[in-house]
Chain A
Amino acid sequence: MNREQAGRLLQQHGAVMVLALLVLAGSLAFDSFATPENAASVVVSSSFLAIIAIGMTFVIIGGGIDLSVGSLFVLGGVLAAYGSRHGPLAALALPLAVCGTVGLLQGLVIARTGMAPFIVTLAGLLGVRGLMLAISDEGATTYLVEDRAFAALGQGELLGLSYPVYVTAGLALAAMVLLQRTGFGQNVYAVGGNEQAAALMGVPVARTKVLVYVLSALLAGLAGALNAARLSSGVTILGIGLELDAIAAVVIGGTLLTGGAGGVTGTVAGVLLLGVIQSLINQVGSLTSAFQQVVSGAFLALVVVAQRLLSKAQRLDTGGPP
């Protein structure tokens, strides 16, 4: 194995390796860490961030960024709780329809006007949270999920894990197939790698971008709806800063922030890594939670530096410009 291959391997599977190491260290250090119950709590609570981060992976590989997902997550939850008065179907359809529309609008603006995704989705972040506050009396009204069938979607369990975990696993598999085995997936890589070159090759750049933002918004809305089912209420104080957690997970997972490279496996490992760090800090019990942010931040910095070094090494190996 030469240096380039080693570098690529580390880039793609570094998060999985670190995750395995952390889990091993945690199991040795704490009796109550590797219990089925604690593992379930990490996996279940990570599943909502994972759904959002899967969408974010598409956006970032496609060379964009989506800051609106935290707001879409809380809006999705409030709409789901509101819709659940009219049955489980409405509880799912309402958040998906609204969030999908927001994603479509953002995608159209980004693809058609060429405005920076950062600004367009920042506007989305603010506007969508405003919309959520408007339908909940500035957050003072919490809609409760009355429909037991819908609540069961978030609370029901199979083999000790609640349903959202299986939904997340299914979505991750589907996303892998979509990204690796379909034309759409190849287009996302092409657009993120080099937009002009992709356009010259006949890749439908605008359509790909729009679809990516719609997908991200739909997944954020779905995560919000599932979370509302789990909590049995449309809690209005959720999702602040969640977009940054999602971006951190995607980058820790080895997806390049500049676009064109990355994958879903790394993202899922990145999300679990953040969850395991939180769990380890809770195990210690006497450390303040601020440590979690310190450790997560340190990880992110390490990964970004490593990515930079690896990509430099690869360029040197292939004789490209530094």
Chain B
Amino acid sequence: MTPHVRMASLAFAVLLTAAACAKAEEPQAAPSAASTAGQQVVQTPSGAAGPTCTLQQFGGTPFDLKTAVVGFSQSEKEANPFRIAETKSIKDEAAKLGITNLKVTNAQSQFSKQITDVQQLIAQGARLLVIAPLNSDGWEPVLQQAAAKKIPIITVDRKINAKPCSDYLTFIGSDFYEQGKRAADRMIDAVGGKGKVAILLGAPGNNVTTERTNGFKDRVKEKAPGIQISFEQTGEFAREKGQQVTEQLIQSNPDINGIYAENDEMALGAVTALKGAGKEPGDIKIVSVDGTRSAVQGIVDGWLHAVIESNPRFGPLAFETAAKFLDGGQIPDKVIISDRDYDQANAKDSLGEAY
């Protein structure tokens, strides 16, 4: 949006004619070479494992994606790179496919708002919903409304606790338990199989935090009983909170050897805290999950030991899944993407692919 348009729409908003903003449009970034780099790859070939779902089983009717109203509900404020890359990927792919009626809402991390957002997308006639859920529970009012109208819901990055193929169509995302396990392997390697490790937990109430925690702990218990997990506290996936918790951590546990951050933002907060406490890069080994550009840069700078990727570019896979479903294809109950990892060996060369 040019400053001129922004000023104009702002002025309109203040003058109580928010309606006039309908014409204001987001800038469409020219498709660059980087936008296709690092695309998501499905791990389990579709249909191979678990039950599948077809349009007939679901009970819907086919429609044309290009002309239909498609709703995307983003969960968190676009203040972290994962969310920015996720929304951009959905918008870019819709533009690429010629989906003209994409409606995007953002719940600004308020769950009540997300429920209302999705209900209003339904009221606006959305035929397909792509939801990045803030919380895994509490979706009943939305699911009931969508089921009554046979609107397929694809949830991305986090799950909804409900039945696939009836309450929602499918889930596209990473295997978070596996991410936790791989992070544990890196941590075991980094601290030499023994020592004290802290966990910066993600926001409570969703499957990502639970599974990244369980995967990490199970793997440590199994492979390196010499590692003691001596501190765990939530940093709510936020940088400031990660910093704050790490500051308390180095006060209370000065002999800590490693920090496992359940996302990059908290890891970067931890780096700030360690710098503030006069630590040198590598004094405390940090392993995190996500693969944002700043975190991969952190590996290059020596502050982070390794980063397990969690790919947020859901656009292509989400619309591909929807198109296949509308064509009568079989959709698995979950589409798990395969994630790479970054370490000292590949960080520098991979910077361009990080988001």
Contacts and interface: CB of A to CB of B under 8 A. Distances in A.
Contacts of B21: 284, 287, 291
Main secondary structure of the interface of A (DSSP, over half): helix
Contact of B110 (A140, A227, A240): A240
Interface in A9-39: 18, 21-22, 25-26, 28-30, 32, 35, 37-38
Interface string B6-47: 000110011011111110111000000000000000000000
Nearest to B232: A138
B125 interface: yes
A258 interface: no
Nearest to A49: B112
Nearest to B91: A286
B16 A236 contact: no
A115 interface: no
Given A231-B137, A237-B134, A237-B135, A281 B18 contact: yes
Given A32-B124, A142-B205, A237-B111, A291 B104 contact: no
Given A227-B112, A231-B137, A286-B24, A237 B204 contact: yes
B54 interface: no
Contacts of A45: 112, 115-116, 119
A112 B51 CA distance: 64
A5 B112 CA distance: 39
A235 B22 contact: no
A254 B110 CA distance: 26
Contacts of B78: 288
Contacts of B107: 289
A140 B209 contact: yes
Contact of A278 (B113, B122, B138, B139): B113
A137 B26 CA distance: 41
B117 interface: yes
B140 A232 contact: yes
Interface residues of A, number: 59
A241 B110 contact: yes
Nearest to B233: A138
Interface in A291-313: 291, 293-295, 298, 302
A286 B25 contact: yes
Nearest to A30: B19
A277 interface: yes
A44 B13 CA distance: 25
B141 interface: yes
Interface of A: 18, 21-22, 25-26, 28-30, 32, 35, 37-38, 40-42, 44-45, 48, 136-140, 142, 144, 151, 155, 227, 230-233, 235-238, 240-241, 275, 277-291, 293-295, 298, 302
13 contacts: A22-B16, A29-B22, A138-B204, A155-B144, A231-B140, A235-B135, A282-B120, A283-B120, A289-B105, A290-B106, A291-B13, A293-B108, A295-B18
